[in-house]
Amino acid sequence: MTRSRIEFVLPVGTKNTSKVRDRHQVRAKREKGPRQATELLWPGWTGPVLLVVRLTRVSPRLLAGGDSLPIVLKSVRDEVARQLRVDDSSPLVRWVYAQSRGESSVLVELSWGEDALAAAVRARDRSPHPPAAFLPTVPGVCGPPSRLLRLAVRLAAPVTNSLGDPPAIHYPGPSHQPDGVLYNGIKRQR
């Protein structure tokens, strides 16, 4: 039986930076620690590239929802991809994210072949997607407005003010406070 799983722990803390606006030097300095830890603790594996990588964020507090996990673990993902000698957006590697409570660290798991994690991801990929007829749709919200809707908005709103002047062109600025309905940059009078 061949071994089809490698795990190692990075003793680094992670921070949600999705809403942080730092200068590029500050961001690079913050991301340097997890990247160096990943490089130092890399087990030196050079096996098949069709694999699943699960990055588990271990922290005293869990992040609300799971949307921030890829952002928090981006520097670790970049370094793992560099060590694998592939681009992190390559279809040859599937990235799975998880989080748990504990002392701050990141658990990196590489899985391929008949390992349970790789088999679970393959099974999820094989499951049929729901047909488009069963997906929820909300008219006017799911996409750009149709030509007919734009035409109806133009016809419903007056194009001139009460004096018959042409419409004022709206140029948005930092102190702009809209006083009418704005459509395609033209201020409509109510």
Give me the DSSP letters along 22-54: --HHHHHHHHHHHHHHHHHH-------S-EEEE
| Shared-domain flag, residues 60 and 105 | yes
**Domain span including residue 182:** 147-188
Condensed to tens digits (0 to 9), the pLDDT of residues 111-154 reads 887 788 888 887 777 776 655 544 445 454 444 445 555 555 55
The pTM assigned to this predicted structure is: 0.50
| Shared-domain flag, residues 35 and 76 | yes
- Indicate which CATH number applies to the domain containing 30: 3.30.1330
Let me know if residue 134 belongs to a domain: no
50 vs 145: CA distance, rounded Å: 41
Condensed to tens digits (0 to 9), the pLDDT of residues 70-120 reads 888 888 898 888 888 888 888 888 899 988 899 988 888 888 877 888 888
Tokens of 183: 């459509």
| Shared-domain flag, residues 84 and 120 | yes
Let me know if residue 136 belongs to a domain: no
| Shared-domain flag, residues 63 and 29 | yes
State how many domains the chain has.
Answer: 2
Residue in 96, 101, 99 with CA at minimum distance from that of residue 116? 96
